[in-house]
Amino acid sequence: MKYYIILILPLIILAAGCASSEKTLYVLPIEFRIPAKKAQFLKFYSPYILGKKFFLDPGHGGNDRNNVGFKGSAVEADVNLNVALSLSKFIKEAGGIVLLSRDKDTSVDLKDRSLIANKSGADFFISIHHNAPASK
């Protein structure tokens, strides 16, 4: 159990730091803005990530772009993709293997996402969402 907590903690930090607000559509976590802090962060977490396979699923995208922030400037599909791409970069730098359900603004059917993830043989499945309200 301790192993999973240590592994998931940096992923939560990264996702929280990358979360969008209406004013700033993307904020890189402090651990990644300062090269020395980033190197220290990667050194600490690399042993837990090295060789593990992660399937990242940035929700929505393509034709599913209805969920936007209350001011209309943040589209959930875009925020989800930005977080997934940043998380993918971190995992790769830490020695992990990354598979994505999408790496650009495309539609991936919900049933296809789970089929692809199951066939990937990934050790971890991470679905990324930000709960923007649907537009009317």
Please give the model's pTM, rounded to 2 decimal places. Answer: 0.78
Q: Calculate the CA dihedral of residues 81, 27, 124, 129 and round it to 10 degrees.
A: -50
For residue 31, which of 113, 87, 108 has the smallest C-alpha distance?
87
Distance of alpha carbon 59 from alpha carbon 43, whole angstroms: 30
60 HSE (CA, 13 A, CB side): 21
pLDDT, greater one: 57 or 13: 57
pLDDT of residue 73: 79
pLDDT of residue 12: 59
Q: Confirm if 98 and 56 have CB atoms less than 8 A apart.
A: yes
pLDDT, greater one: 22 or 65: 65
Whether 21 has a pLDDT exceeding 50, the answer reads no
Over the stretch 24-73, which tens digit does the pLDDT of each residue have? 556 777 888 899 999 999 999 999 999 999 999 999 998 888 888 777 77
Using DSSP's 3-state secondary structure scheme, residue 128 falls into strand
Q: Which residue in this structure is represented by tokens 């790769």?
A: 92
The average pLDDT across 94-115 equals 93
How is 81-124 classified by DSSP, letter by letter?
A: HHHHHHHHHHHHHTT-EEEES-SSS----HHHHHHHHHHHT-SE
